[in-house]
Amino acid sequence: MGHHLSSPVFHSVIHSFLWVLMPLLSFFFFITRLLVSSLLTLSHFPFLLLHSQFTVFGSIMLAAVYQGDAKKVVELIRQSPGFDVNKGLDEWRNTLLHHACNGDHRSAIIPLLLAHPGIDANVKSVFGGTPFSYACANGLPSCVREMLKDSRVEVNEPDRD
């Protein structure tokens, strides 16, 4: 029997595929716009391709976080020693820790990220939200518990609102 369009496996595969495909399409349209407007020459491509690898890698990393795949997240971080865990991966500057605190099924990833050397447990998004405030605002008890286990987490850290 084949997969149905409503099956969780189908949705997981499509979700992962879109997380990788969307940055590539955005990059392609960005380059096309720049070429058409004559702001970019072919000599710029090596730099842009190098920059786009982070975007693709960030998308793969986010897909692993969204699936709650702790082993994959750790493996990807280990394979990329230059990866900055405190750098935002989306337009709102949400980090891996922000995304991990945005779904209760992702709570197993939180202690692994907090164990990473140099991680900022109170890093803020564009809106001033911390990973802990995301977990609280979304009513995610498993994520809140995991964050509270770390003494660096500021429970009263104000956001912009």
Exposure on the CB side of residue 23, measured as CA atoms within 13 A? 21
Give residue-wise pLDDT tens across range 77-119.
888 878 888 988 877 888 999 999 998 889 999 999 999 988 9
Give residue-wise pLDDT tens across range 7-65.
666 666 666 666 666 666 666 665 555 555 444 444 444 444 444 334 566 777 888 88
- For the chain, the C-alpha Rg in angstroms (whole number) is 18
Domains and CATH numbers, the chain: 1-81 (no CATH), 89-161 (1.25.40.20)
pTM of the predicted structure, to 2 decimals: 0.65
